[in-house]
Chain A
Amino acid sequence: MAAYRSVRNLDWALILVAIALAGLGILQIYSATIDTAWRSAWWKQGAYLCAGFFLMWLMTRIDYHTLLGQVPALYMISLGLLVLTPLVGGYVWGSKRWIPLGFGFKFQPSEFVKLVIVLLVARYVSELRSDRLDVRDLVKLGLLVGIPGALVAAQPDLGTSLTYMPVLLAGLFFGGMRWQHAVLILVAGALLMPVGWFMLKDYQKARLETFLDPMKDPMGKGYQVIQSKIAVGAGGIWGRGVARGSQTQLRFLPVAHTDFLISAFAEEHGFVGILVVFGLYFLLLMQIVQNAQAAPDRAGMLICMGVCSLLLFHLLVNAGMAVGRMPVTGIPLPLMSYGGSSMLSVFMMLGLVNNVRLRRFAA
């Protein structure tokens, strides 16, 4: 039993890579906010990093099976929080996503729901008797993930609600979804697209339109993407140096310490810097995949792959939108973007992965 908790058995490569990424993020936040009203963000981020580290340790200690056993309760609490958020939350940037905690701290339930979704999918899929998912399972799982997803989308925070999707898809994929069903879902999705279009808010439609053609409204909705591309492109191979990116420093680049942090980083550190960051992310993801392969059971594997697909999705959407290859969606770059809730939830997920790893020698 002691072996489970052995510090030596932790995935140190994973932890060091995560800390390296968070460190680079703090440096970049420092550089991007050096003379703005946000200039204290870097040390706050450092504080979140410490808190995240603590939560990661906590998530490593509690056996993931215990957590899986609490999924129904966790799920109900999640729904409760998501319903509560718009009631007590104040508007920030036009949506109600946070629950104020007092002392200037606020808590974003949708970030922690990610964790619950990971556990929920892992439990549901691992409990199945068959190796193959049938249509009833698809519908049930879809609804279970869809309800909190819809609540988050209604805040409105379409970006975060979309991050639940890769977890669901990973669950279906590793749970043994039939190829025919996958095709069926794709076709149904394509058919439902026009309906979905009407459900989108105007600004969301505009973002998609902008993604397809940013020059349509260069100073309006396309502004962020254009400025971000200029920042990235101007960075060149070697970058313009720390705190020397004119796009970032002269604030042409919007939200350079949160959603567009990667653009600021790319401007100041160039393609070489991007290679380093992507290399770290690749290591991180591969490390998680390795832990999935070594997982002692189906549920552990599903937890790891859920976390992996979620982080991959974040990276794809955030780093992709910075170069105009994904629509602008306000989701953070894991570990690097400024933001406490995201930092904490990512570290907690890494804690889960470590949790699975520690128990790999079981049985």
Chain B
Amino acid sequence: MRYLRAEKDPDSIPERPLFGDETRFAAGRIAVFQYVIVTVFIYLLLGYWDLQVLNQEFYSEKAEQNQIKSLPILAPRGKILDRDGRVIVDNHESFRLILSRDSLRPAHLRPIALGLNMDPAELEAKVRRYQNQPTWFAIPLKEELSLDELAFVEAFRGQNGFPELELIRSQYRVYPKEGLAAHLLGYVGEISDAELNSPEWAHHNPGDLIGKAGVERYYNDLLSGVDGQRQVRVDNRMNTREVLGVKDAIPGRNLRLTIDLDLQVVAELAMEGKRGAVVALDPRSGEVLALVSRPAFDPNRFASRISAREFNELIQDPYRPLFNRALQAQLAPGSTFKPILALAALESGAIDDSFTVHCAGGATWYGRYFKCHRRGGHGTVNLKTAIAQSCDVFFYAVGNRVGIDTIAEYAEMVGLGARTGIDLPGEKEGVVPSSKWKIRTQREKWYAGETISVAIGQGALTVTPIQLAYAIGGIASGGVFMRPHLVRQEKPEPPARIAGFRPENVRKVVDGMCAVVNGWGTAAASRIPDIEMCGKTGTAQLASNDLLRLKNHEDWHDNAWFIGFAPGTNPEIVVAVLWENGAHGDMAAPIARDVIKAYFDKKARMKKPAQPPASLASAWLAPPALDRKKR
């Protein structure tokens, strides 16, 4: 039959049947081929056995990791308000870009960094920092994205681009413009490795934004709240398929400060273009009404995870904008120390009312000639005129009578040489020299000649502006010292210290200080009509050589101090002003006068209820300018 077909079709092949040898040959090779088939099946089955039986747990775990994803829910940070409830630091809705490490592909880091205007090396370092964290823990990349960065993310997110990029709702901090109260408020920034390893920040995770300075740092735990978490099942496009569980975030608490924004603005404006600090306190409660340090920085720059380059710029600025002069500048107080010495002299009985000194423009003590700032001399001066006109010769004699250790005792009694305990980080102590102090620190005995310098607030004596405000406020309040603080207390605090000064002695010192402004004193030009402002100027040589490398001639000028309070009895406000290189104390007095005047003006205005409190403050609190996005 086959052959029949073959004949019908001439193109068909002649058939070669499987007979004879051919059969044996084919049967043999087919047998060999069967072994090939069996081998292939064994090879394949071993592969499945290996994965499914021997390593099932390993791969099941991998499959589990593939699908469960944990996304943080960020707790909004509490707002910061002024004493009248005006919002100083606000939050604005934004998105945080995070890098999901489950799906991270090392080759993507570079293009991602470039697309986000980041330094690739910095991003790599960031990823390395998370090596010891569980992989579901995402890396925050940026807080606030510019339009082109956002476009980049939108274009390349997802499976065909960078599956590791993810946006989550977030809020960024908005601070007042031009660095208003920057040192007081501080700023937020990404937690550093060192912070992560310290017990203080143990409850934080890498990538968290924490308060780095100022109120933001001191009250970080109150402000930051607790982040929540969302566990979701996702597919490989990172689309959420199912929400497995949600732990809500606990928002941070709002913080109401004691700061009066109106006063703060006045003080900021007065310090515009200067270097120095202003501290305004209510000596009755210790509430800080204003706190300025200049030069300042823009905390908004930190809010979006400042780059290392920007931060280094700020650190290396010779004028040290990050340095909070109000708390950290340890400088000689100059003549502002004289009221403290006068009180020490009266209280210790070293002098009495009748004590007078003749000033001829200088005097010789321990073989050295000490000049008075007025070359012609003040003539015969008593305590009041000596304070009013800041006669150095008078205080040389007083200092010599009181002696260094009694001076130190009283200086410490009014709070010098120790932190005031204000609720801000980084406060410095200053130095109150004494014979014991000198032996302890320099292993040398005290020379009486050194006392003469300390008497006029020079020598080894250094104070901070906040200490000076605390000290003078306490003295003017009759020896009741209130700890300075920035956050309103529910219950009034007990005094930090009550010094049993005799009221008549306090009165004598305060009278002298009132004559500084209202009599023929050194700050008579800063008199305020109808308000009894008292104070003391100070002109002090530079204590540190920090600025000597600066070429600018003005940087060699003396520091100008003014410490003022009002009214003369039961003062409501005390203001300390430091103007670095301001040349002379009477230059600093108008700054304190402006603040004190603003305080009483506002008080008067508040008494007439119909008038809304018009203020300069609003200009600083306008919504953030768009140019922030340009960076």
Contact = CB atoms under 8 A, between A and B. Distances in A.
Interface of A: 1, 63, 65-66, 68-70, 72, 123, 126-127, 131, 170, 173-174, 176, 217-220, 227, 229-237, 246-247, 250-252, 266, 270-271, 274-275, 278, 281-282, 285-286, 289, 292-293, 295-299, 301, 305, 308-309, 312, 315-316, 319-320, 323-325, 359, 362-363
Contacts, number: 185
A278 B37 CA distance: 12
A65 B37 contact: no
Q: By CB atoms of chain B within 10 A, which of A65, A68, A296 has the most?
A: A65
A262 B548 CA distance: 78
Contacts of B62: 230, 233-234
B40 A312 contact: yes
Interface string B508-539: 00000000000000000000000000000000
Contacts of B66: 227, 230, 246-247, 250, 252
Contacts of B496: none
B18 A297 contact: yes
A229 B50 CA distance: 10
B48 A266 contact: yes
B63 A359 contact: no
Nearest to B164: A219
Interface stretch (B19-27, B194-202, B379-387, B400-408): B19-27
A293 B34 CA distance: 11
Is chain B's interface secondary structure helix, strand, loop, or mixed overall?
A: helix
Given A233-B56, A271-B48, A325-B44, 7 more contacts: A219-B104, A229-B51, A233-B62, A266-B52, A286-B37, A297-B18, A316-B43
B497 interface: no
A99 B51 CA distance: 39
Contact of B58 (A72, A233, A359): A233
B45 interface: yes
B241 A282 contact: no
Contact of B29 (A72, A174, A233): A174
B49 interface: yes
Is chain A's interface secondary structure helix, strand, loop, or mixed overall?
A: helix
A230 B63 contact: yes
B570 interface: no
A246 B67 contact: yes
Contacts of A174: 26, 29-30
Q: By CB atoms of chain A within 10 A, which of B13, B49, B67 has the most?
A: B13
A246 B64 CA distance: 8
A232 B37 contact: no
Contacts of A301: 18, 26, 30
Contacts of A312: 36-37, 40
A359 B29 CA distance: 22
B16 interface: yes
Contacts of A298: 15-18, 22, 26
Nearest to A232: B51
A260 B314 CA distance: 57
Q: By CB atoms of chain B within 10 A, which of A1, A293, A296 has the most?
A: A293
A70 B63 CA distance: 53
B63 A65 contact: no
Interface stretch (B142-150, B231-239, B271-279, B593-601): B231-239
A271 B49 CA distance: 7
Contacts of A308: 33, 37
A271 B2 contact: no
Interface stretch (B3-11, B133-141, B576-584): B3-11
Given A230-B63, A250-B67, A298-B26, A363 B48 contact: no
A232 B14 contact: no
B45 A278 contact: yes
A15 B29 CA distance: 25
Nearest to A1: B1
A270 B52 contact: yes
Nearest to B37: A285
A320 B44 CA distance: 6
B5 to A, nearest CB: 6
A237 B49 CA distance: 9
Contacts of A235: 52, 56
A33 B224 CA distance: 46
A127 B30 contact: no
7 contacts: A72-B11, A220-B105, A236-B53, A286-B34, A305-B30, A312-B40, A359-B2
B24 to A, nearest CB: 11
A359 to B, nearest CB: 7
Contacts of B48: 232, 266, 271, 274, 323
A131 B22 contact: yes
Contacts of A309: 33
A296 B241 contact: no
Nearest to A122: B13
A289 B33 contact: yes
B308 interface: no
B12 A320 contact: no
A139 to B, nearest CB: 21
B52 A274 contact: yes
A179 to B, nearest CB: 12
Contacts of A1: 1
B51 A233 contact: yes
Interface in B64-80: 64, 66-67
B1 A236 contact: no
B365 interface: no
Nearest to B34: A289
